[in-house]
Amino acid sequence: MMHIQITSERFEAIVDAYGADPQRWPQDERAAALLFMQQHPEVARRVLAEARTLDSWLSSADEVEPSVALQWEVLARMMPAGVAARPAPVAARPRRRRWLAGGIGLAAACAAGIIFGVNIGLMTLSEARAEAVLASASLAEVDNW
- pLDDT tens-digit readout, 42-73: 999 999 999 999 999 988 888 888 899 998 88
Domain residue ranges in the chain: 1-61, 96-145
**Mean pLDDT, the chain, as a whole number?**
81
Position 85 pLDDT exceeds 60: no
pTM: 0.43
State the burial class of residue 26 (Cβ atoms within 10 Å of its Cβ: 0-12, 13-18, 19+).
exposed
Alpha-helix residue ranges (DSSP H) falling in the chain:
8-18, 27-39, 41-60, 68-78, 95-144
Position 41 pLDDT exceeds 90: yes
Contact 18, 25 (CB under 8 A): yes
Helices 41-60 & 27-39 angle (0-180, nearest 10): 130
Q: Work out the number of other CB atoms within 10 angstroms of the CB of residue 20.
A: 17
